[in-house]
Structure 1
Amino acid sequence: MKYILFIGCLFFLLQPAMAQKKIAVNRQKMSDEQLLELVQKQTFRYFWDFGHPVSGMARERSNKTFDYGDEVVTTGGTGFGVMAIIVAAERKWITREAAAQRLLKIVDFLRKADSYHGVFPHWLNGNTGKTIPFSRKDDGGDLVETSFLFQGLLCARQYFNNDSPTETELRNKINWTWNETEWNWYTQGGRNVLYWHWSPNNGWSMNHEIKGWNECLITYVLAASSPRYAISPEVYHQGWVNNIYFRNDRTFYDIKLPLGFDYGGPLFFSHYSFLGLNPHGLKDRYADYWEQNLHHTLINREHCVRNPKGFKGYGANCWGLTASDTYDGYNAHSPENDWGTITPTAALSAFPYTPEYSMQALKHFYYDLGDKIWTEYGFTDAFNETKQWYASSHLAIDQGPIVVMIENYRTGLLWKLFMSCPEIKEGLKKLDFETTVK
């Protein structure tokens, strides 16, 4: 995680943002449900209207990444986009057939694209399917990004369950791709921990162990659930939890935090793994994951309410610190790394945990700040009122969780789909998870 954020801080610092088309804010009073629907639908357009024309995959961001131009598509962000497309089909913003066709286009592209023991790279060229290196040595498989992708694809497999030719083909190709992914290869020869990267050019030289607590719980759950290439439980119990930053059990702003960094770290830790993995009643020998995510969110919000550094705009209706663009590049914002930048996805993707507080933030973002941050693809990535800076960019990994987690708050749709996968049920059981989901 630290490696990814470090690279993220560098990869676009000198790139000018391409301004997105601003959309007028609706000043007529809307109900909460109408506002939620509007925000979800508008944000979904990032993946539908702005999806790559050849691959159908999600573009990394709406401004330029390095000097690669417009062809950079993202593996993990596409997984989030797949889930957003399912929401769109369910809410009839698009037809079910159109959604299935787009997803089949994505899967067909992926089946011909570069992969490394079945694991996809962080970035692909959306025209050719060739790897675009994320850094000099990160030019092979990225296990975490691939897990975000499969979280979405397995939801799609469960949702598109009709006997039509398109849906049948989609399910079959998702299953083939899922079955071919060698999760256990990424234990570097049978060690009891997963490794983030492997490259035919650089082997294991990145040597980045995936250890908690961070956004990668879903990686271990999927690796344990694989039909053909599963990891043993020891990889989870000896690898994932074997980290000085895993357990916490200290109190911050009078709120106890079971796991992770002091004050919780950036809020995406409580989002990415839980777009499909339902934290309600989810427990293992280490934590109650609903309590973990709720308390992490409450600490993050309370920090913004107390606002110890006195940043402009912070308060009960303006909170949310996570990784995002900022005025001088990109940063993983948190209470311990706070520079005055609020990222809308942080509070909006927390709707399942803090619906009242998230709604306060949503109304402020839309009605009060909308003229500065509301565009054709929903809210822009972030803003800093102390610096009078408002992003014009969007990132797939920030837009997707807004659509998905608001939907999980409203209907639990993606949670129901993912948790209905028989392989996931077996994987969770194998790792000694308890869940209230039947």
Structure 2
Amino acid sequence: MNKLYLWHILFGVGLALAACAAPAGPNVTPPDTPAPVAASPTPLPATPASSPTATTMAPSITPVPVTASDDEIIAYELRAAFDFFWEQANTDPASPGFGLIRDRYPGSTGIASIASVGFGLTALIVGVECGFITREQAYERALGTLQTLERMALVEGFYYHFVDIKTGQRAWQSEVSSIDTAILLMGVLAVGQYFGDDVQARATTIYERVNWPWFLDSDRQMFYMAFTPEKGFSGHWDFYAEQLMLYVLAAGSPTYPVDETPYYTFIRHVGRYGAGEPFIHSWFGSLFTYQFSHAWIDFRGLVDRKGVDWHQNSVAASRAHYDFAVAMDPKYTTIGPTAWGLTACDGPNGYEGRYGAPPSGYDNRSHYIDDTVPPAGAIGSIIFTPEESLQAMRYYYSLEGLKGRYGFFDAFNLSRDWYATDVIGIDKGISLLMLANYQDGLIHRVMMANPVIQTGLARLGFTLAK
């Protein structure tokens, strides 16, 4: 049982590292907004289950005593995650795909995902503020990436999910994705806000050409999930998930806006785990659904017209995941108080988008568990449950076989003696951005100063909580 390993988690005395995030620069002054806003059913994330993934069997990993401080452990994952986005990008200035970033490493050679690019653009801000790269290096990478995005094939301003990293052309006959385009645009707006100048001008152009009403099912007043030239539209964002950013971006558009109706139309099903706090949950109960939009948008202190506080909702969801893991400790080898946060990730049988915890679906039977735990689950909730997330990070850091070139590998399963050998862009991304926000709110400070985000939140009816 996981609890047998608890005695290995020893607190180190290591020197505390100074927070790497400094003031974000001259382009983060909050603009005037239409209303006061605080600056403070089954979606799958970026990689399909059918995509190649390494599933190597390995000897059981024995934890070793942790001699690093929490700050040192955070610094380890922060730098390693940044290195993934910096190093696994197309850096050939003559290539049509300059700046595109791999979906995963080392698997799926030659395939980039636009969601990974969105996280990677935002990672440039972390790189500058932490001193990993110079501002000039980051500006050059951001500008070149936006130039690539301007040239790529689009459908009404939306991007194909997976593309060839060298050519920028559609790969795997993948779909045009509303949510992955939204993740990309969050990164585009982030670097525009941070760097200003030509980067900001190009970011504005890329964002303002997106035809949001085109991706909306006007009859149901719900955004579609995907479009392919061969089959047309498919799926609806009809249940709560990671798509909050979609509504904010669409409402904030000065060129093709969508009003608040779709935001107030999707199903808000309330559930709870045990005696925990009730909250609006996602279909599979995957933890990433409570994290992704929050990586850029700081919902703290805000409520919508129905009184929903999405930040507190994610706190309750993260707490439910932790409580569930504690309850499952006697049943599973991996899952427990030091290994928690079930979310879409690689597993022993390939990529699995159904990993999650209750509540799920309408009857708590929609999530899937096989004792696989991804480090990104708990790390991505560090702004919601800092103590529990740091406890998990200490444990993960004690597992030498879980650590690689780019920090923690995607997942592990002690019941199967299985350890992922890939890292995935969206999982490294949510870890990186949330760690930066935990340190000093870096990404939140940049994004909450952006007029698009402020306008979108105001138009959706968000106000300061009383």
> Which consecutive residues of structure 1, in runs of 5 or more, have no partner in the other structure?
20-24, 162-167
Matched letter for residue 277 of structure 2: K
Q: Is residue 272–residue 320 contact of structure 2 (8 Å, CA) maintained in 1? A: no
Structure-1 residue corresponding to 2:246: 219
2:306 paired with 1:271: no
Partner SS state of residue 382, structure 2: coil
- Please provide the CA RMSD for this pair: 2.3
Structure-2 residue corresponding to 1:104: 143
Partner Cα distance (2:388, 2:412) in 1: 19
Partner Cα distance (1:282, 1:107) in 2: 32
Structure-2 residue corresponding to 1:165: none
Structure-1 residue corresponding to 2:107: 64
Partner Cα distance (2:132, 2:332) in 1: 39
In the superposition, relative to structure 1, how do residues 170 and 26 fare at CA in structure 2: closer, same or farther (>3 Å)?
Answer: farther
Partner Cα distance (1:2, 1:151) in 2: 22
Structure-2 residue corresponding to 1:2: 42
Partner SS state of residue 215, structure 1: coil
Partner SS state of residue 325, structure 1: strand
User: Which segments of structure 1 move beyond 6 Å, counting only runs of 4 or more?
Assistant: 25-28
Partner Cα distance (2:47, 2:149) in 1: 25
In the superposition, relative to structure 1, how do residues 230 and 26 fare at CA in structure 2: closer, same or farther (>3 Å)?
Answer: farther
- Between 1:184-193 and 1:45-54, the stretch displaced more is 184-193
Structure-1 residue corresponding to 2:303: 283
Alignment of 1:383-402 (within 5 A): 383-402=412-431
Q: Is residue 56–residue 419 contact of structure 2 (8 Å, CA) maintained in 1? A: no
In the superposition, relative to structure 1, how do residues 348 and 28 fare at CA in structure 2: closer, same or farther (>3 Å)?
Answer: closer
In the superposition, relative to structure 1, how do residues 296 and 105 fare at CA in structure 2: closer, same or farther (>3 Å)?
Answer: same
In the superposition, relative to structure 1, how do residues 6 and 229 fare at CA in structure 2: closer, same or farther (>3 Å)?
Answer: closer
Partner Cα distance (2:103, 2:183) in 1: 14
Structure-2 residue corresponding to 1:159: 194
Q: 1:35 aligns with which of 62, 69, 73?
A: 73
Q: Is residue 183–residue 223 contact of structure 1 (8 Å, CA) maintained in 2? A: yes
Partner Cα distance (2:439, 2:329) in 1: 33
Cα offset, 1:4, TM superposition: 3.1
Cα offset, 1:388, TM superposition: 0.7
Matched letter for residue 269 of structure 2: R
Q: 2:222 aligns with which of 193, 196, 208?
A: 193
Q: Is residue 58–residue 73 contact of structure 1 (8 Å, CA) maintained in 2? A: yes
Q: 1:93 aligns with which of 107, 128, 132?
A: 132
Matched letter for residue 37 of structure 1: A
Matched letter for residue 415 of structure 2: T
Structure-1 residue corresponding to 2:6: none
Partner Cα distance (1:7, 1:45) in 2: 20
Identify which of structures 1 and 2 has the higher relative contact order when contacts are C-alpha pairs closer than 8 Å and 6+ apart. 2
Alignment of 1:172-321 (within 5 A): 172-188=201-217, 192-204=221-233, 206=234, 208-238=235-265, 241=266, 243=267, 246-248=268-270, 250-261=271-282, 265-284=285-304, 285=306, 287-307=308-328, 310-321=331-342
Q: Is residue 55–residue 347 contact of structure 2 (8 Å, CA) maintained in 1? A: no
Q: Is residue 54–residue 420 contact of structure 2 (8 Å, CA) maintained in 1? A: no
Can you list the C-alpha shifts for 1:302-358, whole angstroms capped at 9, x where unaligned?
Answer: 111111671113322221210000011122311242110010000011110111111
Partner SS state of residue 204, structure 2: helix
Can you list the C-alpha shifts for 1:6-37, whole angstroms capped at 9, x where unaligned?
Answer: 9822222xx54699xxxxx9988333222212
In the superposition, relative to structure 1, how do residues 113 and 99 fare at CA in structure 2: closer, same or farther (>3 Å)?
Answer: same
> Which consecutive residues of structure 2, in runs of 5 or more, have no partner in the other structure?
1-40, 58-62, 93-97, 358-366
- Between 1:323-332 and 1:308-317, the stretch displaced more is 308-317
TM-score of the superposed pair, with normalisation by structure 2: 0.82
Partner Cα distance (2:85, 2:139) in 1: 14
Structure-1 residue corresponding to 2:351: 330
Partner Cα distance (1:6, 1:60) in 2: 8
Q: 1:45 aligns with which of 75, 80, 83?
A: 83
Structure-2 residue corresponding to 1:357: 388
Q: Is residue 281–residue 289 contact of structure 1 (8 Å, CA) maintained in 2? A: no
Partner Cα distance (1:219, 1:6) in 2: 15
Partner SS state of residue 396, structure 2: helix
In the superposition, relative to structure 1, how do residues 320 and 225 fare at CA in structure 2: closer, same or farther (>3 Å)?
Answer: same
More helix by share: 1
Partner SS state of residue 100, structure 2: coil
Structure-1 residue corresponding to 2:168: 129
Can you list the C-alpha shifts for 1:19-58, whole angstroms capped at 9, x where unaligned?
Answer: 9xxxxx9988333222212210111111011223342222
Partner Cα distance (1:297, 1:120) in 2: 31
Q: Is residue 52–residue 73 contact of structure 1 (8 Å, CA) maintained in 2? A: no
Structure-2 residue corresponding to 1:143: 178
Q: Is residue 184–residue 190 contact of structure 1 (8 Å, CA) maintained in 2? A: no
Cα offset, 1:134, TM superposition: 5.0
Q: Is residue 297–residue 448 contact of structure 2 (8 Å, CA) maintained in 1? A: yes
TM-score of the superposed pair, with normalisation by structure 1: 0.87
Structure-1 residue corresponding to 2:377: 346
Partner Cα distance (1:422, 1:156) in 2: 14
Q: How many residues align?
A: 404
Q: Is residue 17–residue 64 contact of structure 1 (8 Å, CA) maintained in 2? A: no
Partner Cα distance (1:253, 1:119) in 2: 41
